[in-house]
């Protein structure tokens, strides 16, 4: 029996596009001699559909699309994920399910048992867990079909009290198939391989795993579909950050040679780079936009975002707006212009001095006798926000936010100024990682000016300003932030690692009091195990971290 894994980029709620994509790949798999083609979790509607699932019409459209697809399953079978109604009154109204389709009709239904409700996942909000398990018989093989999380309850600290494969193995299956919507983070590929390998070894069965690819607003799916033999050895690894289809012969697993061998794991920074480009591309494509605008300061954050946008959208579709103030250095303008020239994107130079002076004049009487402080700095940042939003409105560009994760964490940014935008490109990338990204982008040639990388970071909102005037050294700050945000450690645990007590308490307090700002930031492309946004939910008025 030959199994095709179809790793595709779906669009949430775009039933016409998703259906055609699935039908086209059924035909492609059939032409390549596959007996069965496997698609991802909730492929018909896209993942995660969130509160679209609360609309009866949405579920009806899923079912109608599935029935249309089933008609193409003649001479080939298909496994396809979709939400279906729970016909029992008690419990949630829906199941996260998979149809097994053959001979032009739905032959069997498999329902997901383990529903993740952590980080970016919220499945128990919508779905009823499954408690009944049955293998699929097809062409003399018995298939144990599971859906994503159903294979993840296999570690030293299980989240669930049951394990679907412990039930399915009692029916003596010949192989396992798992359909997934497994989001990317730069540490997840190795975890995924380990967990799936452990399943193959535990149950002594070959395992075919298909993931989806593409970005759905802030959540990015990296693909990387996999195949293991019964010893848990990884025998095939499909493309990352791209659509792919491969066909495998179940009876020749030991001899499989993947089309896209990856002899070693890609570096964290290269994965982050590729993920961000895919995230930008899909945000624009799926929103119906083509052109981006951003403020380009000459600093490293906006330089990296501009570089990524040019690579993702084409330089001709990127507008960089240089907005020097009376405090901007000549080298910052030169660095920004060098970047523009290196990539060939469009640019405008719009000075904000007159606007900032106008606000100073308007507020002179109200602020009489009070010294220059953060207020006047923020006015300059907000003048810039007005300019880039005006360009966005006038020309229909989407504004890219350029704040990094370190800044987002400690509130080092101005609401309605440099924190505005439609999508946060590097808001899940620490400042130290931004420098690594810049070096990675420059690995073949100097695209980001060297001076942008080596000069001390500065907002340039007052004379001789440096980030270090307000923040600890980024190398230390990012270590503390990582321990607190990704590793979920409080002050005592971080201090016990050898960090200065006063510094740790100061940093954690900054993180806590900046929560109100993060609630008002754009969605942030998720590349880490714990990103700001839907995966990290903190109360604004909480006292704990004070």
Q: Which residues are catalytic?
A: 41, 112, 148
Peptide bond into 48 cis (omega under 30): yes
Indicate the burial class of 475 (C-beta count within 10 angstroms; 0-12, 13-18, 19 or more): exposed
Q: Measuring CA to CA, which residue among 106, 38, 34, 46 is closest to residue 82?
A: 46
- For residues 518 and 540, what is the distance between their CA atoms, to the nearest angstrom? 9
* Residues 96 and 83 sit within 8 Å (Cβ to Cβ): yes
| Angle at the Cα of 175 from the Cα atoms of 174 and 179, rounded to 5 degrees | 150
Q: Are 94 and 58 contacting, i.e. CB atoms less than 8 angstroms apart?
A: no
Pairing relation of β-strands 213-216 and 207-210?
Answer: unpaired
Whole-angstrom Cα distance, residue 169 to residue 148?
A: 17
Report the candidate in 433, 536, 527 with the shortest Cα–Cα distance to residue 185.
Answer: 527
The CA-to-CA distance between both ends of the chain, in Å, stands at 60
3-state helix, strand, coil in the chain (%, to 5): 40, 20, 40
* Longest distance between any two alpha carbons in the chain, whole Å: 87
| CA-based R_g, the chain, Å | 26
Cα dihedral: 70, 13, 144, 68 (round 10): 0
Which residue's entry shows tokens 């070693």?
264
Cβ contact 36:78 at 8 Å? yes
Residues sharing a CB contact under 8 Å with residue 8, sequence separation 6 or more, in sequence order? 21, 22, 25, 39, 40, 43, 212, 213, 214, 243
């Amino acid at each position: 029996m030959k199994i095709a894994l179809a790793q595709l980029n779906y669009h949430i709620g775009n039933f016409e596009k998703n259906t055609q994509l699935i039908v086209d790949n059924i035909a492609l798999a059939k032409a390549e001699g596959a007996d069965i083609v496997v698609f991802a979790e909730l492929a018909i509607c896209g993942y995660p559909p969130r509160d679209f699932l609360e609309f009866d019409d949405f579920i009806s459209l899923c079912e109608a699309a599935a029935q249309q697809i089933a008609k193409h399953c003649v001479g080939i079978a298909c496994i396809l994920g979709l939400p279906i109604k729970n016909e029992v009154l008690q419990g949630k109204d829906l199941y996260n399910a998979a149809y097994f389709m053959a001979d032009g009709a739905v032959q069997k239904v498999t329902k997901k048992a383990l529903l993740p409700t952590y980080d970016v996942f919220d499945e128990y909000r919508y779905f009823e867990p499954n408690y009944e398990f049955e293998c699929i018989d097809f062409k003399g093989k018995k298939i144990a079909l599971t859906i994503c999380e159903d294979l993840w309850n296999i570690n030293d600290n299980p989240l669930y009290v049951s394990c679907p494969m412990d039930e399915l193995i009692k029916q003596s299956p010949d192989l396992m198939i798992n359909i997934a919507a497994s989001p990317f983070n730069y540490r997840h590929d190795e975890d995924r391989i380990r967990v799936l390998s452990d399943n193959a070894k535990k149950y002594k069965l070959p395992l075919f795993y298909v993931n989806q690819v593409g970005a759905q607003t802030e959540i990015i799916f990296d693909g990387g579909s996999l195949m293991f033999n019964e010893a848990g050895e990884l025998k095939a690894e499909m493309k990352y950050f791209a659509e792919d289809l491969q066909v495998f012969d179940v009876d020749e697993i030991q001899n499989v040679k993947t089309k896209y061998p990856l002899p070693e794991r890609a570096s964290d920074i290269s994965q982050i780079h590729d993920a961000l480009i895919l995230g930008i591309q899909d945000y624009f494509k799926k929103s119906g936009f083509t052109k981006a605008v951003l403020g380009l300061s000459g600093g490293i954050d906006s330089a990296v975002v501009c570089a990524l946008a040019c690579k993702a959208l084409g330089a001709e579709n990127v507008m960089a707006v240089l907005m020097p103030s009376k405090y901007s250095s000549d080298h910052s303008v030169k660095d920004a212009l060098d970047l523009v020239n290196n990539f060939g994107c469009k640019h405008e130079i719009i000075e904000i001095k007159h606007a900032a002076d106008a606000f100073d004049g308007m507020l002179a009487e109200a602020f009489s006798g009070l010294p220059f402080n953060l207020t006047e700095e923020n006015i300059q940042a907000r003048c810039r926000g007005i300019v880039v939003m005006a360009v966005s409105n006038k020309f229909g560009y989407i504004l890219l936010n350029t704040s990094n994760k370190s800044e987002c964490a400690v509130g080092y940014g101005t609401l309605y100024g440099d924190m505005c935008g439609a999508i946060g490109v590097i808001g899940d990338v620490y400042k130290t990682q931004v420098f690594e990204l810049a070096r990675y982008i420059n690995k073949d040639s100097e695209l980001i000016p060297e001076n942008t990388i080596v000069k001390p970071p500065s907002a340039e909102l007052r004379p001789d300003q440096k980030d270090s005037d307000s923040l600890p050294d980024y190398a230390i700050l990012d270590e503390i932030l990582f321990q607190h945000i990704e590793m979920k450690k409080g002050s005592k645990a971080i201090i016990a690692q050898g960090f200065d007590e006063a510094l740790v308490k100061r940093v954690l307090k900054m993180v806590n009091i900046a929560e109100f700002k993060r609630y008002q930031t754009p969605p942030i492309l998720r590349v880490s195990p714990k990103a700001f946004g839907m995966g990290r939910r903190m109360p604004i008025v909480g006292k704990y971290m004070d």
